[in-house]
Structure 1
Amino acid sequence: MKNNLKELTQYWRLYLLTLVLGVGGTLQYGIQVSIMTSPAEHIQSFVNQTWLGRYEVPVGESTNTLLWSFIVSTSSLGGLVGAIHCGSLSVKYGRKTSLQINNVVAILAAVMMVLSRMAKSFEMILLGRFLFGYNSGLGINLHLMYLGESCPKRMRGFLTLTSSIFLSLGKLLGQVIGIKELMGTEDMWPYLLAVSGLPAILQFLSLLWFPEAPRYLYIDKGDEDGCKKALQWLWQEDEVNLKLELEDMRQERQSAEGEKAKTMLDVLRSRCVRWQLLALLIPCSGLQFCGINAIYFYAFDIFRESGVPDDKMHYLSLGIGATEVITVTTCAFMIDRAGRKRLLGFGYLLMGVMMSVLIVMLTIKDLYSWMPYLNIALLFSVICVYGLGPSGASMCLSADLFLQAWRPSAFAVGGIVNWAGLFLIGMLFPYIVAGMGQFCFLIFVGYCIFTSAFMLYFIPETKGKTSMEITEDFNKLNFKNSGTEPEKGTGMFATKL
């Protein structure tokens, strides 16, 4: 108890950094994800009125649908571009400065949203959504990179997973402020779309008081004194207790001495990070292909069949958001005990099993009057498992799996896969549901089972290990049955296998 209290008071600056990064990063993205549902009819009405004012004819139904699809999906395209720029920006300008540049993008997007109605321009909404997407695609990766490079290894899992907590909290907050009693009205919708600019302003100003990421200072810039000062300020440790952390950084710097920061092409082609890349991409893809979007889609149908009035659906969806917040928060306290491997592996397995049962229940839902209520229980159970495992633990992987030279580009690759998956699901999912109905879950069940088997049987655990120790474990997979030495920069402790 005394140790926990000491840790809580000692690392208060690190926790404050976590709060600043979370509010201006994943919480902001979570708000953007969830606020588009409430003002949808008001935005479409604005598009119709603007079109009529310009061309003196009402907008066609197909054109209106196309414009709305672009407004919704352009955020994913922006996120994809932001993820691509993550690697180069974070290496050139550092984690902190890149985040502040990114905040300016979000503030600019918010200004466009507020002025769109005044300027009678739905194109400003499109551009604002793209910029907010860019801000999220870049900001989430920078958030995880900065935090992962600033915290002790024993706290790395817990602190990086807070990004999932803020993401879930942002979704819930977006749902709350979007209700018609608050900002989900015809008068307030431009301000609702722009509300994400407030966390960006807060983060921009707050980061002025924080140092650059210590590992970036030492390993990338060679600034040992700056790294020590940053660690002492964040951790409030004396120089003796920082020796182990500095020694780990020194070994990693020596192993990559003379090596330039790796490109995305290097990450994709190099054998020395092949298994790390698979361990990152398969679970990250699973965030989009695990079926959670199908669960949210079917939630309203299941609620309606249970007798919930349409005007109360939005309030019940708040319960789904609250469930995700609670379970992801629980995951944060479990991850450094249970480990990433178990939470991901068994999480995907349970999701696959539960969705298989849900398929059967949705097929025979008309046999008994109580079945819709059982489907609601199954729906909430899947969301609980998603929050306890895949949603939370996946956030730790990029910070865990790669050494400093590879990390920025690895984040970029992971971000590209995630945003591209989100865009594909957004475009194709309605057609999949229309063609397959509840049997669309079979696709997601297959992916969940595959991801579970991959994580449990092939990937080593990373909890409580240094970057060099993790790299040594993966070198046993990357160079298995090979007579070649690991490449320089992949871990100086790796031996010939």
Structure 2
Amino acid sequence: MKSTGNAEPEGTSKPSGNARTLALTVCSAAIGGTFQYGYNISIINAPTLFIQRFLNDTHMERWGTALDTHQVTLLWTIIVSAFSLGGLLGALLAGPMAVHVGRKNSLLLNNSFLFVSALLVLTSRLAKSFEMIMLARLLVGINSGVSMNIQPMYFGESAPKHLRGAVAFSSAVFTAFGIFMGQVVGLTELLGTEPLWPYLLASNALPGLIQLLTLPWFPESPRYLLIDRGDREACVRALGRLRGGEAPALEMEEMLQEQQQQQTAAMNSGSTSSAKTPWALFKDPAVRSQLRTVMFASSAMMLCGNDSIYFYASYIFHEAGIPPGKIQYASIGTGASELTASILSNLLIERVGRRSLLVGGYSLMSCWSVVFTLALIFQSRGVAGLSYLSMACVFAYILSFGLGPAGVTGILPAEIFDQAARPAAYMVAGSLMWINLFLVGMLFPFIVKGLGNFCFLPFLAVCVVSAVFLGLTLPETKGKTMAEITAEFDRKNGKDRMNKQVGEPIRDQYQLGTASLPTQDTRSQP
């Protein structure tokens, strides 16, 4: 593979370049994308006590009085919550960025938030300002909110249909990899010590730098180039590089048909752009079923309690009799569990399908919630050995989450919405994810305190309802075109009007052979 597309005409690379270019594009985008989300979730845990001590020392030096425990906890909560608030802002920012800047350029521009946050963290101790840490976590959250929305969009639009799920699901694999690496880097043997905690929090700049140096060499999303920018030649060149040869005729034809449909829709609405806003998405009855499903799935992903169980894991391991100095190593097992499950799910998604993994994951989580609750109840009554069952439930719950909900949820908007609606759909889904993550993070300590051994019953209810709802409303999208998915979605939700009024026009619009392809000379231009 050449480092730049200008060295030779596009579409002339060997077929082996297909998997190589696509795989390298995925790695380059993800290392500075969803990897950062997982990494920044986990690296904040190791320096908790050190940062809290810094809060107290700074307050003492400024005003001559020490903070009480409640005040330290409040400031620490603000630092942790700033990440979720930034994520919400990033999710709202992702849609306009994806439309106006492009998928690839948005990911590159997104690194500016990381570099500023790293600078703030590294200088916070010298400036004796804990407010700089709060601002840094807010900026890191914005980075994660943007990448969590744009990266799956970029992958879903760049991958061939038969690999679309596996490529898009790699976002979840890199998220789990980020969690695992954050836990490893946070070990006391590495950066998890009091003198080094600013470097631990600033270490997220390194993956961002790797992306900044590598991603410019890879192509932009072909669908974005054609449908949003109207640049057919650039689309053909990008598609040729990603497929390892000439742009596939059928795939190009399908995109041309979608471009024509979006242009017609924009002309009918009197708009200068085919891209929809979230408000337009809510008002469009044609995508109401899809929007309802995505909103439910995105909310359930955070309300199911998987992120909360990471925080509860230390208590479980302590109850299991693991020495305090070894708990950090046992906690790495939680990240390793999700990483293992994500890799396994990535291998299975094109065989088993999205719907089966999503419904199956929530069903397994429901079962483990029941076992976990029973183990806690009998453990509190003095039954020996059940603490180890509780610990096993932690790993099993996370494995089940990584097997389906962790990755499938993120690729749904890319698969069930067309090019015009996709950025707005990701804005809605991303906003709900971050809002619910913030709510669960704030409420979980009170749930544990109020419900005690029954603290996972609310999560059990979420998992059961999610499995039933998604099983009834979500059709399988594996290997299907947008027209087929739309028709299947409407049939799944009992819309007979699809076959009578909407179905035939959509099939006509996607009838291959009705749109003109670029000539061979056009495809050969650099």
Matches within 5 A, 1:64-463: 64-239=72-247, 242-258=248-264, 259=266, 260-365=274-379, 366-463=381-478
Q: CA deviation at 1:478?
A: 6.5
Q: Give the drift of 1:475.
A: 3.7
- 1:11-50 alignment, distance < 5 Å: 11-50=19-58
1:111 Cα shift? 1.0
Which shows bigger deviation, 466-475 or 402-411? Answer: 466-475
What is the CA–CA distance in structure 2 between the aligned matches of 1:390 and 1:492, rounded to whole Å?
Answer: 34
Equivalent residues of 1:287, 1:391 under 8 A apart:
yes
Distance 1:481-1:152 versus aligned 2 partners, 3 A rule: closer
In structure 2, distance between residues paired with 1:263 and 1:33: 30
Q: Is the 8 A contact 2:17 2:243 kept in 1?
A: no
**8 Å Cα contact 2:363-2:463 kept in structure 1:** yes
Q: Any idea what SS the aligned residue of 1:102 has?
A: helix
Please tell me whether the aligned partners of residues 308 and 440 of structure 2 are also in contact (alpha carbons under 8 angstroms).
Answer: no
Cα displacement string for residues 379-432 of structure 1 (whole angstroms, at most 9, x for unaligned residues) = 222222111121122222121111000000101111000000100011111111
> What is the one-letter code of the residue matched to 1:457?
L
In structure 2, what is the Cα distance between the partners aligned to 1:377 and 1:328? 18
Aligned-residue offset at 1:60: 3.6
Equivalent-residue separation in structure 1 for 2:412 and 2:364 (angstroms): 20
Q: Kindly state the Cα deviation for residue 120 of structure 1 after the two structures are TM-superposed.
A: 1.2
Q: Which amino acid aligns with 2:251?
A: E
Whole-angstrom CA distance in 1 between matches of 2:505 and 2:328: 52
1:257 alignment partner, SS class: helix
Q: How many angstroms apart in 1 are the aligned matches of 2:429 and 2:382?
A: 44
Alignment check: 8 A CA contact 1:479 1:486 kept: no
1:385 counterpart letter in structure 2: S
**Quick one: which amino acid aligns to residue 258 of structure 2?**
E
CA displacement 1:94-139 (0-9 Å, x = unmatched): 1112112111111111111111111111111111100000010011
Report how far residue 481 of structure 1 moved.
Answer: 4.8
Measure, in 2, the Cα distance between the counterparts of 1:204 and 1:156: 24
Q: CA deviation at 1:29?
A: 1.5
SS at match of 2:188: coil
Give the letter for the 1:411 counterpart.
Y
Q: SS at 2:397's partner residue?
A: helix
**1:431 and 1:372 mapped to 2: Cα distance?**
22
C-alpha spacing 1:27/1:54, structure 2 compared with 1 (3 Å): same
Identity level (%): 42
Describe the SS at the equivalent of 1:276. helix
Shift in Å, 1:286: 1.6
**Cα contact 1:51–1:59 (8 A) shared by 2:** yes
Cα distance 1:411–1:490, how it changes in 2: closer, same or farther (>3 A)?
A: farther
The code of the aligned residue for 2:432 comes to V
Q: Normalized against structure 2, the TM-score is what?
A: 0.89
Whole-Å Cα distance in 1 between the matches of residues 148 and 16 of structure 2?
25
Of 179-188 and 474-483, deviating more is: 474-483
Q: Compute the displacement of 1:375 (Å).
A: 2.1
In 2, Cα distance between equivalents of 1:268 and 1:219: 22
In the TM superposition, what whole-angstrom CA distance separates every residue of 1:335-354 from its partner, at most 9, and x where no partner exists?
01000000111211121122
Distance 1:111 1:492 in 2: 55
SS at match of 2:158: coil
How many residues matched? Answer: 487
**Structure 2, unaligned stretches of length 5 or more?**
1-13, 267-273, 511-526
2:373 match: secondary structure? helix
Give the aligned residue type for 2:440: I
* Paired AA for residue 204 in structure 2: S
Shift of 1:357: 2.1
Q: Specify every segment of 5 or more residues in structure 1 that has no aligned partner in the other structure, as ranges.
A: 1-5
Give 2:395's aligned amino acid. F
SS in 2 for 1:446: helix
Aligned CA-pair RMSD: 2.1
| Aligned AA (1:95) | R
1:3 is aligned to none
Paired with 1:262 and 1:66, the residues of 2 have a C-alpha distance of 40
Q: TM-score, normalised by structure 1?
A: 0.94
